[in-house]
Amino acid sequence: MPGGSFRRLRCSVVPLERGAGKDAIAVRATVRGRVQGVFFREATRAQALELGALGWVRNAEDGSVLVHAEGAEAAVEALLAFLREGPPAASIDDVEVERVKPEGHEQFAIRGVSAGAFVVQEHQATAHHFDLRLEVEGAMRSWAVPKGPSMDPAVKRLAIQVEDHDMAHNSFEGPTDGGGVIVWDRGSYEQGGRVPWPEALERGHAVFVLHGEKLRGGFALQRTRPAAKPQWLLIKRRDEEADAEADPVRTQPESVKTGRTLA
């Protein structure tokens, strides 16, 4: 690894099968000290992989490092022990830990690394729908979502894959022959899941994290029917941004670009 090696804590933890089980525990840790710019995230990810812990690590704006860890109690406790010691270049002042609900992660990932842009455009055409677009290898992969995205993990939205769009279309807003288009949400996103992109999309299961003005947190696209226009399900993942009561399609109809509604 660039910047030197790091020490690993040895223990007798047996790695978990992917995906937190029903007996999994989860914690959220805030690590303070000299912890950014010293390969702390890379060392934490490597340690989590060795232990079988799932979740994520990311740098916070205040200079700390945030860690979400879930899985078998022994694996999580061993990872916390590593965080309290830290890799060789780090200097740990404090580790604050709280118990939280498992989020159902499939891997342990480094967050805060953007994969590109995302946009959701509300579109009145022959049928009203929302277009979800994710930047992948210089193009915007696109899905038409008739009912729009949901922040409720219990809700599964039909998403029909359509042709790719170029990135210049991301900012388009205005009247069209069939009605009109507004930029309903936009921001950046991170790729997730066990399989690297774009292979994950080709296999039919892609996990990602949105950083938008209305949509935030983890989502998944699951292909259910291959065809000329494959059908997928768009599902909100159970994380701290999930909200069964929120309905941004209904309560936040305005464009994030101009403040106008589709009407």
Catalytic annotation, residues = 41, 59
Helix (H) or strand (E) holding 202: helix 199-203
Encoded tokens for 165: 């769009």
Q: Are 255 and 183 in contact (CB under 8 A)?
A: yes
- Edge-first strand order for the sheet with 54-59 is 91-100, 25-34, 65-71, 54-59, 108-110
Query: Torsion angle of alpha carbons 79, 80, 85, 91, nearest 10°?
Result: 110
Q: What is the 3-state secondary structure (H, E, C) of 54-66?
A: EEEEEECCCCCEE
- Specify whether the CB–CB gap between 13 and 56 falls below 8 A: no
Residue-level length of the chain: 263
Strand 108-110 vs strand 54-59: parallel, antiparallel, or unpaired?
parallel
Give the sign of the dihedral formed by CA 156, CA 157, CA 162, CA 167: negative
CA atoms within a 13 Å half-sphere pointing along the CA-CB vector of 47 = 30
Give Cβ neighbours of residue 102 (< 8 Å, ≥ 6 apart). Answer: 20, 24, 25, 26, 70
